[in-house]
Structure 1
Amino acid sequence: MAPAVRSWIHSVRPLGNFGAQTPSGTEDASLPPFIEAIADASGTKDGPLAKALALLFEASPVLYNALVPGVAAHIQTAPPVLSYSALIDVSLSVISSWSDEPKAQFISGHPRIGEVKGLSKLSEQEQAAKATPPEILARLAHLNALYERKYPGLVYITFVNGRSRAAIKEELEDKLELEHSVSVDEPLVESIVSVEAGSEEWKRELERAVGDVGKIAKSRLRSLGVEDSEAE
Protein backbone atom coordinates (compact mmCIF):
# COMPACT_ATOMS: atom_id res chain seq x y z
CA MET A 1 0.00 0.00 0.00
CA ALA A 2 1.32 3.40 -0.92
CA PRO A 3 2.64 5.32 2.14
CA ALA A 4 0.72 8.47 1.17
CA VAL A 5 -2.54 6.56 1.44
CA ARG A 6 -1.88 4.57 4.60
CA SER A 7 -2.43 7.52 6.94
CA TRP A 8 -6.07 8.05 5.94
CA ILE A 9 -7.18 4.71 4.53
CA HIS A 10 -8.89 3.68 7.78
CA SER A 11 -10.81 6.94 8.17
CA VAL A 12 -13.80 5.69 6.14
CA ARG A 13 -16.76 5.53 8.50
CA PRO A 14 -17.65 2.03 9.74
CA LEU A 15 -20.21 -0.09 7.96
CA GLY A 16 -23.64 0.05 9.55
CA ASN A 17 -27.12 1.53 9.37
CA PHE A 18 -28.54 -1.33 7.32
CA GLY A 19 -31.17 -2.28 9.89
CA ALA A 20 -34.76 -1.19 10.42
CA GLN A 21 -35.82 1.55 8.08
CA THR A 22 -36.51 4.99 9.51
CA PRO A 23 -38.64 7.95 8.44
CA SER A 24 -37.36 10.52 6.00
CA GLY A 25 -35.03 13.25 7.18
CA THR A 26 -36.49 16.58 8.12
CA GLU A 27 -33.84 18.92 6.75
CA ASP A 28 -34.84 21.66 4.34
CA ALA A 29 -34.36 20.15 0.86
CA SER A 30 -34.51 23.39 -1.10
CA LEU A 31 -31.78 25.29 -2.88
CA PRO A 32 -31.15 28.93 -2.03
CA PRO A 33 -31.79 31.43 -4.83
CA PHE A 34 -29.05 30.97 -7.40
CA ILE A 35 -28.03 34.62 -7.36
CA GLU A 36 -27.42 34.40 -3.60
CA ALA A 37 -25.33 31.24 -3.90
CA ILE A 38 -23.20 32.55 -6.73
CA ALA A 39 -22.64 35.91 -5.00
CA ASP A 40 -21.41 34.26 -1.80
CA ALA A 41 -17.65 34.80 -1.76
CA SER A 42 -17.28 34.09 1.95
CA GLY A 43 -16.47 30.38 1.63
CA THR A 44 -18.08 29.85 5.04
CA LYS A 45 -19.98 26.75 6.15
CA ASP A 46 -23.26 28.57 6.79
CA GLY A 47 -23.46 30.66 3.61
CA PRO A 48 -25.84 30.07 0.69
CA LEU A 49 -23.06 28.58 -1.48
CA ALA A 50 -22.26 25.99 1.19
CA LYS A 51 -25.94 25.17 1.60
CA ALA A 52 -26.34 24.65 -2.13
CA LEU A 53 -23.27 22.46 -2.50
CA ALA A 54 -24.15 20.39 0.58
CA LEU A 55 -27.61 19.73 -0.83
CA LEU A 56 -26.30 18.78 -4.27
CA PHE A 57 -23.28 16.74 -3.15
CA GLU A 58 -24.08 15.73 0.49
CA ALA A 59 -22.56 17.50 3.47
CA SER A 60 -19.11 16.38 4.62
CA PRO A 61 -16.06 17.97 6.27
CA VAL A 62 -14.10 18.02 3.00
CA LEU A 63 -17.00 19.73 1.24
CA TYR A 64 -17.08 22.54 3.79
CA ASN A 65 -13.32 22.80 4.27
CA ALA A 66 -12.12 22.41 0.69
CA LEU A 67 -14.89 22.44 -1.92
CA VAL A 68 -16.84 25.48 -0.71
CA PRO A 69 -13.81 27.81 -0.44
CA GLY A 70 -12.37 26.37 -3.66
CA VAL A 71 -15.55 27.03 -5.61
CA ALA A 72 -15.93 30.49 -4.04
CA ALA A 73 -12.39 31.39 -5.15
CA HIS A 74 -13.01 30.01 -8.64
CA ILE A 75 -16.17 32.06 -9.05
CA GLN A 76 -14.29 35.27 -8.28
CA THR A 77 -11.64 34.73 -10.95
CA ALA A 78 -13.29 32.65 -13.70
CA PRO A 79 -15.91 33.49 -16.34
CA PRO A 80 -19.44 33.97 -14.96
CA VAL A 81 -21.27 30.88 -13.75
CA LEU A 82 -24.79 31.19 -15.11
CA SER A 83 -26.72 28.23 -13.72
CA TYR A 84 -26.75 25.61 -11.00
CA SER A 85 -25.81 23.02 -13.62
CA ALA A 86 -22.73 25.09 -14.46
CA LEU A 87 -21.98 25.40 -10.74
CA ILE A 88 -21.87 21.61 -10.52
CA ASP A 89 -19.43 21.55 -13.44
CA VAL A 90 -17.24 24.14 -11.69
CA SER A 91 -17.34 22.04 -8.51
CA LEU A 92 -16.23 18.93 -10.40
CA SER A 93 -13.40 20.93 -11.96
CA VAL A 94 -12.24 22.01 -8.49
CA ILE A 95 -12.47 18.41 -7.24
CA SER A 96 -10.43 17.19 -10.23
CA SER A 97 -7.49 19.27 -8.98
CA TRP A 98 -7.46 17.48 -5.61
CA SER A 99 -5.21 14.61 -4.61
CA ASP A 100 -6.65 11.14 -4.03
CA GLU A 101 -7.17 11.61 -0.29
CA PRO A 102 -9.74 14.45 -0.38
CA LYS A 103 -11.44 12.87 -3.40
CA ALA A 104 -11.94 9.64 -1.45
CA GLN A 105 -13.19 11.60 1.55
CA PHE A 106 -15.57 13.51 -0.72
CA ILE A 107 -17.27 10.43 -2.17
CA SER A 108 -17.52 8.97 1.34
CA GLY A 109 -19.85 11.86 2.16
CA HIS A 110 -22.53 9.97 0.24
CA PRO A 111 -24.34 7.18 2.09
CA ARG A 112 -23.53 3.62 1.17
CA ILE A 113 -26.01 1.87 -1.09
CA GLY A 114 -28.43 0.11 1.26
CA GLU A 115 -28.07 2.38 4.26
CA VAL A 116 -31.43 3.42 5.67
CA LYS A 117 -30.61 5.53 8.73
CA GLY A 118 -29.47 9.13 8.73
CA LEU A 119 -30.18 9.65 5.03
CA SER A 120 -30.89 13.07 3.63
CA LYS A 121 -34.29 13.47 1.99
CA LEU A 122 -32.75 13.35 -1.46
CA SER A 123 -30.62 10.28 -0.73
CA GLU A 124 -33.65 8.44 0.60
CA GLN A 125 -35.64 9.27 -2.51
CA GLU A 126 -32.78 8.20 -4.76
CA GLN A 127 -32.31 4.87 -3.00
CA ALA A 128 -36.04 4.01 -2.82
CA ALA A 129 -35.59 3.20 0.86
CA LYS A 130 -39.21 2.25 1.57
CA ALA A 131 -39.42 -0.45 -1.09
CA THR A 132 -36.42 -2.66 -0.27
CA PRO A 133 -36.84 -6.20 1.12
CA PRO A 134 -34.69 -6.86 4.21
CA GLU A 135 -32.77 -9.67 2.50
CA ILE A 136 -31.63 -7.21 -0.18
CA LEU A 137 -30.48 -4.74 2.48
CA ALA A 138 -28.56 -7.51 4.24
CA ARG A 139 -26.90 -8.61 1.01
CA LEU A 140 -25.96 -5.01 0.19
CA ALA A 141 -24.33 -4.63 3.59
CA HIS A 142 -22.15 -7.65 2.84
CA LEU A 143 -21.39 -6.46 -0.69
CA ASN A 144 -20.30 -3.07 0.64
CA ALA A 145 -17.88 -4.84 2.98
CA LEU A 146 -16.52 -6.88 0.07
CA TYR A 147 -16.13 -3.78 -2.10
CA GLU A 148 -14.33 -1.90 0.65
CA ARG A 149 -12.01 -4.87 1.10
CA LYS A 150 -11.19 -4.81 -2.61
CA TYR A 151 -10.84 -1.02 -2.81
CA PRO A 152 -9.36 0.14 0.53
CA GLY A 153 -10.44 3.64 1.48
CA LEU A 154 -13.27 3.83 -1.08
CA VAL A 155 -17.03 3.54 -0.66
CA TYR A 156 -19.18 2.20 -3.50
CA ILE A 157 -20.99 5.04 -5.23
CA THR A 158 -23.24 4.69 -8.25
CA PHE A 159 -25.78 6.87 -10.04
CA VAL A 160 -28.97 5.05 -9.07
CA ASN A 161 -31.11 6.92 -11.62
CA GLY A 162 -34.41 5.50 -10.38
CA ARG A 163 -33.25 1.89 -10.15
CA SER A 164 -34.17 -0.30 -7.20
CA ARG A 165 -31.67 -1.43 -4.60
CA ALA A 166 -32.18 -4.96 -5.93
CA ALA A 167 -30.89 -3.80 -9.31
CA ILE A 168 -27.94 -2.04 -7.69
CA LYS A 169 -27.18 -5.23 -5.74
CA GLU A 170 -26.74 -7.06 -9.02
CA GLU A 171 -24.63 -4.23 -10.43
CA LEU A 172 -22.30 -4.41 -7.43
CA GLU A 173 -22.11 -8.20 -7.67
CA ASP A 174 -21.15 -7.86 -11.33
CA LYS A 175 -18.44 -5.32 -10.47
CA LEU A 176 -17.02 -7.74 -7.90
CA GLU A 177 -17.41 -10.64 -10.38
CA LEU A 178 -19.77 -12.53 -8.07
CA GLU A 179 -22.82 -14.65 -8.78
CA HIS A 180 -26.15 -13.02 -7.99
CA SER A 181 -27.22 -14.13 -4.53
CA VAL A 182 -28.90 -13.07 -1.29
CA SER A 183 -26.23 -14.61 0.93
CA VAL A 184 -25.21 -12.39 3.83
CA ASP A 185 -21.80 -14.01 4.37
CA GLU A 186 -20.58 -15.43 1.06
CA PRO A 187 -18.01 -15.03 -0.18
CA LEU A 188 -16.01 -14.34 2.95
CA VAL A 189 -14.66 -10.81 3.18
CA GLU A 190 -11.21 -12.25 3.88
CA SER A 191 -11.27 -14.09 0.54
CA ILE A 192 -11.32 -10.85 -1.47
CA VAL A 193 -7.96 -9.75 -2.86
CA SER A 194 -7.39 -6.05 -2.27
CA VAL A 195 -6.38 -3.66 -5.01
CA GLU A 196 -3.43 -1.54 -3.92
CA ALA A 197 -4.61 1.91 -2.87
CA GLY A 198 -3.18 4.47 -5.25
CA SER A 199 -2.75 1.94 -8.07
CA GLU A 200 -4.12 2.65 -11.54
CA GLU A 201 -7.11 0.34 -11.03
CA TRP A 202 -7.87 1.98 -7.68
CA LYS A 203 -7.60 5.46 -9.19
CA ARG A 204 -9.92 4.51 -12.06
CA GLU A 205 -12.53 3.38 -9.56
CA LEU A 206 -12.11 6.59 -7.56
CA GLU A 207 -12.57 8.74 -10.68
CA ARG A 208 -15.63 6.72 -11.74
CA ALA A 209 -17.18 7.36 -8.32
CA VAL A 210 -16.46 11.10 -8.50
CA GLY A 211 -18.08 11.19 -11.94
CA ASP A 212 -21.18 9.44 -10.61
CA VAL A 213 -21.42 11.93 -7.76
CA GLY A 214 -21.59 14.62 -10.44
CA LYS A 215 -24.39 12.74 -12.22
CA ILE A 216 -26.25 12.45 -8.91
CA ALA A 217 -25.92 16.20 -8.36
CA LYS A 218 -27.32 16.98 -11.83
CA SER A 219 -30.19 14.58 -11.18
CA ARG A 220 -30.92 16.34 -7.90
CA LEU A 221 -31.46 19.59 -9.78
CA ARG A 222 -34.25 17.91 -11.71
CA SER A 223 -35.69 16.41 -8.51
CA LEU A 224 -35.74 19.89 -6.99
CA GLY A 225 -37.50 21.29 -10.04
CA VAL A 226 -34.56 23.48 -11.02
CA GLU A 227 -33.98 24.03 -14.71
CA ASP A 228 -31.05 25.97 -16.13
CA SER A 229 -33.38 28.64 -17.47
CA GLU A 230 -34.82 29.12 -13.98
CA ALA A 231 -31.42 29.30 -12.31
CA GLU A 232 -29.89 31.87 -14.61
Structure 2
Amino acid sequence: MVDVRLPPLPNILSNPAELDAALSILFEPSPILTSTLVPQLSSILALEHFITSYTELIDIAISTINTWDDELRAQFIAGHPRIGENNDLSNLSANEQGTSTSTDATTATPPDVLRRLAHLNACYERAYPGLRYITFVNGRSRAVIAEEIEDVLGVEHSLEDGEPPLEMFEAYDAGEERWKDELNRATEDVGMIAKNRLNTLDVEGENNHL
Protein backbone atom coordinates (compact mmCIF):
# COMPACT_ATOMS: atom_id res chain seq x y z
CA MET A 1 0.00 0.00 0.00
CA VAL A 2 1.34 3.45 -0.93
CA ASP A 3 1.47 5.82 2.04
CA VAL A 4 -0.66 8.57 0.49
CA ARG A 5 -4.06 9.67 1.75
CA LEU A 6 -6.84 11.50 -0.04
CA PRO A 7 -8.76 14.10 1.97
CA PRO A 8 -12.15 12.89 3.23
CA LEU A 9 -14.62 13.46 0.42
CA PRO A 10 -16.84 15.93 2.34
CA ASN A 11 -13.83 18.24 2.78
CA ILE A 12 -13.30 18.80 -0.93
CA LEU A 13 -16.88 19.93 -1.54
CA SER A 14 -16.36 23.22 0.26
CA ASN A 15 -12.60 23.68 0.38
CA PRO A 16 -10.71 24.42 -2.89
CA ALA A 17 -7.37 23.75 -1.21
CA GLU A 18 -8.51 20.25 -0.25
CA LEU A 19 -9.88 19.73 -3.76
CA ASP A 20 -6.51 20.79 -5.20
CA ALA A 21 -4.75 18.35 -2.87
CA ALA A 22 -7.04 15.49 -3.91
CA LEU A 23 -6.75 16.19 -7.63
CA SER A 24 -2.97 16.51 -7.36
CA ILE A 25 -2.87 12.99 -5.92
CA LEU A 26 -5.20 11.54 -8.52
CA PHE A 27 -3.88 13.39 -11.59
CA GLU A 28 -0.41 14.60 -10.50
CA PRO A 29 0.15 18.25 -9.56
CA SER A 30 0.44 20.81 -12.34
CA PRO A 31 -0.07 24.58 -12.72
CA ILE A 32 -3.05 24.11 -15.05
CA LEU A 33 -4.73 21.83 -12.53
CA THR A 34 -4.51 24.49 -9.84
CA SER A 35 -5.26 27.52 -12.00
CA THR A 36 -8.06 26.10 -14.15
CA LEU A 37 -9.43 22.70 -13.14
CA VAL A 38 -9.80 23.38 -9.42
CA PRO A 39 -11.81 26.63 -9.84
CA GLN A 40 -14.03 25.04 -12.49
CA LEU A 41 -14.75 21.96 -10.41
CA SER A 42 -15.30 24.06 -7.30
CA SER A 43 -18.02 25.95 -9.16
CA ILE A 44 -19.56 22.76 -10.50
CA LEU A 45 -19.61 21.12 -7.09
CA ALA A 46 -21.01 24.21 -5.40
CA LEU A 47 -23.71 25.08 -7.92
CA GLU A 48 -24.52 22.18 -10.19
CA HIS A 49 -23.51 18.81 -8.90
CA PHE A 50 -23.37 16.83 -5.68
CA ILE A 51 -20.91 13.95 -5.79
CA THR A 52 -20.99 10.84 -3.65
CA SER A 53 -17.66 9.21 -4.57
CA TYR A 54 -14.17 9.95 -5.78
CA THR A 55 -14.93 7.86 -8.86
CA GLU A 56 -17.66 10.33 -9.73
CA LEU A 57 -15.26 13.23 -9.14
CA ILE A 58 -12.80 11.74 -11.63
CA ASP A 59 -15.54 11.35 -14.25
CA ILE A 60 -16.64 14.97 -13.83
CA ALA A 61 -13.03 16.17 -13.94
CA ILE A 62 -12.29 14.33 -17.19
CA SER A 63 -15.54 15.59 -18.73
CA THR A 64 -14.55 19.13 -17.76
CA ILE A 65 -11.03 18.73 -19.16
CA ASN A 66 -12.52 17.51 -22.44
CA THR A 67 -14.23 20.90 -22.84
CA TRP A 68 -10.88 22.73 -22.78
CA ASP A 69 -9.03 23.79 -25.89
CA ASP A 70 -6.18 21.61 -27.09
CA GLU A 71 -3.42 23.75 -25.59
CA LEU A 72 -4.87 23.57 -22.09
CA ARG A 73 -5.45 19.83 -22.35
CA ALA A 74 -1.87 19.33 -23.52
CA GLN A 75 -0.64 21.29 -20.49
CA PHE A 76 -2.70 19.04 -18.25
CA ILE A 77 -1.25 15.90 -19.86
CA ALA A 78 2.24 17.28 -19.32
CA GLY A 79 1.62 17.11 -15.57
CA HIS A 80 2.26 13.35 -15.74
CA PRO A 81 5.88 12.18 -15.79
CA ARG A 82 7.35 10.55 -18.87
CA ILE A 83 7.48 6.78 -18.90
CA GLY A 84 10.94 5.75 -17.71
CA GLU A 85 11.74 8.91 -15.75
CA ASN A 86 13.09 8.18 -12.30
CA ASN A 87 13.62 11.66 -10.88
CA ASP A 88 11.04 13.61 -8.91
CA LEU A 89 8.34 10.97 -9.25
CA SER A 90 5.43 11.02 -6.85
CA ASN A 91 5.04 7.89 -4.73
CA LEU A 92 2.09 6.82 -6.86
CA SER A 93 3.89 7.37 -10.17
CA ALA A 94 6.90 5.45 -8.90
CA ASN A 95 4.64 2.61 -7.82
CA GLU A 96 2.85 2.56 -11.18
CA GLN A 97 6.09 2.56 -13.13
CA GLY A 98 7.57 -0.17 -10.97
CA THR A 99 10.29 1.98 -9.42
CA SER A 100 9.03 2.22 -5.85
CA THR A 101 12.35 2.68 -4.04
CA SER A 102 13.19 -0.95 -4.75
CA THR A 103 16.89 -1.80 -5.01
CA ASP A 104 16.23 -5.42 -5.93
CA ALA A 105 18.21 -6.10 -9.11
CA THR A 106 15.61 -8.64 -10.20
CA THR A 107 12.89 -5.98 -10.36
CA ALA A 108 14.91 -2.98 -11.54
CA THR A 109 14.40 -1.86 -15.14
CA PRO A 110 17.51 -2.71 -17.22
CA PRO A 111 19.54 0.35 -18.27
CA ASP A 112 19.11 -0.45 -21.97
CA VAL A 113 15.32 -0.32 -21.56
CA LEU A 114 15.56 3.04 -19.78
CA ARG A 115 17.77 4.41 -22.55
CA ARG A 116 15.32 3.08 -25.12
CA LEU A 117 12.40 4.75 -23.36
CA ALA A 118 14.24 8.07 -23.19
CA HIS A 119 14.86 7.93 -26.94
CA LEU A 120 11.30 6.87 -27.73
CA ASN A 121 9.92 9.69 -25.59
CA ALA A 122 12.04 12.12 -27.58
CA CYS A 123 10.83 10.58 -30.87
CA TYR A 124 7.21 10.77 -29.75
CA GLU A 125 7.51 14.39 -28.67
CA ARG A 126 9.08 15.28 -32.00
CA ALA A 127 6.20 13.61 -33.85
CA TYR A 128 3.55 15.05 -31.52
CA PRO A 129 4.85 18.47 -30.43
CA GLY A 130 3.33 19.70 -27.21
CA LEU A 131 2.31 16.21 -26.09
CA ARG A 132 4.06 13.52 -24.09
CA TYR A 133 3.38 9.81 -24.17
CA ILE A 134 0.94 8.83 -21.44
CA THR A 135 -0.45 5.33 -21.01
CA PHE A 136 -2.25 3.35 -18.33
CA VAL A 137 0.59 1.02 -17.34
CA ASN A 138 -1.68 -1.36 -15.41
CA GLY A 139 1.15 -3.51 -14.08
CA ARG A 140 3.01 -3.87 -17.37
CA SER A 141 6.79 -3.66 -17.49
CA ARG A 142 8.65 -0.72 -18.94
CA ALA A 143 9.98 -3.02 -21.67
CA VAL A 144 6.40 -3.75 -22.76
CA ILE A 145 5.56 -0.05 -22.70
CA ALA A 146 8.60 0.65 -24.89
CA GLU A 147 7.19 -1.75 -27.47
CA GLU A 148 3.82 0.01 -27.21
CA ILE A 149 5.42 3.37 -27.99
CA GLU A 150 7.27 1.79 -30.92
CA ASP A 151 3.95 0.53 -32.27
CA VAL A 152 2.41 3.99 -31.95
CA LEU A 153 5.39 5.47 -33.80
CA GLY A 154 5.33 2.70 -36.41
CA VAL A 155 8.92 1.56 -35.83
CA GLU A 156 10.44 -1.88 -35.25
CA HIS A 157 10.93 -3.23 -31.74
CA SER A 158 14.55 -2.67 -30.84
CA LEU A 159 16.92 -1.77 -28.01
CA GLU A 160 19.47 -0.08 -30.27
CA ASP A 161 20.59 3.29 -28.94
CA GLY A 162 19.45 6.24 -31.01
CA GLU A 163 17.43 4.23 -33.51
CA PRO A 164 15.53 5.34 -35.44
CA PRO A 165 17.06 8.83 -35.63
CA LEU A 166 14.90 11.70 -34.46
CA GLU A 167 15.23 13.31 -37.88
CA MET A 168 13.06 10.64 -39.50
CA PHE A 169 9.97 11.84 -37.65
CA GLU A 170 7.89 14.61 -39.15
CA ALA A 171 5.78 16.59 -36.72
CA TYR A 172 2.01 16.45 -36.82
CA ASP A 173 0.51 19.90 -36.48
CA ALA A 174 -1.28 20.60 -33.21
CA GLY A 175 -4.99 20.10 -33.84
CA GLU A 176 -4.37 17.75 -36.78
CA GLU A 177 -6.50 14.59 -36.58
CA ARG A 178 -3.64 12.22 -35.70
CA TRP A 179 -2.30 14.66 -33.09
CA LYS A 180 -5.75 15.13 -31.62
CA ASP A 181 -6.33 11.37 -31.47
CA GLU A 182 -3.24 11.08 -29.27
CA LEU A 183 -4.42 13.95 -27.07
CA ASN A 184 -7.82 12.27 -26.64
CA ARG A 185 -6.24 8.89 -25.88
CA ALA A 186 -3.87 10.40 -23.32
CA THR A 187 -6.71 12.23 -21.57
CA GLU A 188 -8.75 9.05 -21.26
CA ASP A 189 -5.72 7.14 -19.98
CA VAL A 190 -5.16 9.79 -17.30
CA GLY A 191 -8.72 9.10 -16.14
CA MET A 192 -8.02 5.36 -15.99
CA ILE A 193 -4.80 5.99 -14.08
CA ALA A 194 -6.70 8.13 -11.57
CA LYS A 195 -9.35 5.45 -11.01
CA ASN A 196 -6.66 2.82 -10.58
CA ARG A 197 -5.09 5.04 -7.94
CA LEU A 198 -8.29 4.76 -5.93
CA ASN A 199 -7.74 1.01 -5.85
CA THR A 200 -4.07 1.46 -4.95
CA LEU A 201 -5.02 3.77 -2.11
CA ASP A 202 -7.82 1.44 -1.03
CA VAL A 203 -10.18 4.39 -0.91
CA GLU A 204 -13.38 3.34 0.80
CA GLY A 205 -15.78 4.31 3.57
CA GLU A 206 -16.01 8.00 4.32
CA ASN A 207 -13.11 8.84 2.00
CA ASN A 208 -14.84 7.55 -1.12
CA HIS A 209 -18.55 7.77 -0.33
CA LEU A 210 -20.74 10.20 1.53
Unmatched 5+ residue regions in structure 2? Answer: 103-107
Unmatched 5+ residue regions in structure 1? Answer: 1-26
Counterpart-to-counterpart distance in 2, 1:214 and 1:56: 9
1:103 and 2:80 matched: no
1:214 and 2:184 matched: no
Counterpart-to-counterpart distance in 1, 2:86 and 2:202: 25
8 Å CA contact retained: 2:8, 2:207: no
Match of 1:6 in 2: none
Counterpart-to-counterpart distance in 1, 2:155 and 2:205: 41
8 Å CA contact retained: 1:84, 1:228: no
RMSD (CA atoms): 1.5
Structure 1 length as normaliser, TM-score? 0.83
User: Which residue identity does 1:29 align to in structure 2?
Assistant: V
8 Å CA contact retained: 2:7, 2:207: no
Structure 2 length as normaliser, TM-score? 0.92
Match of 1:30 in 2: 5
1:189 and 2:159 matched: no
Tell me the alpha carbon deviations over residues 22-71 of structure 1, each in whole angstroms, 9 at most, x when there is no partner. Answer: xxxxx97210111111232xx3xxx1111000000000000000011111
CA 1:28–1:54 in 2, change beyond 3 Å: closer, same or farther? farther
Match of 2:37 in 1: 67
Runs of 4+ in 1 over 3 A off after TM superposition: 227-230
% of aligned pairs identical?
52
8 Å CA contact retained: 1:144, 1:155: yes
1:1-232 to 2 correspondence within 5 Å?
Answer: 29-40=4-15, 43=16, 47-129=17-99, 130=102, 131-227=108-204, 231-232=208-209
Between 1:219-228 and 1:178-187, the stretch displaced more is 219-228
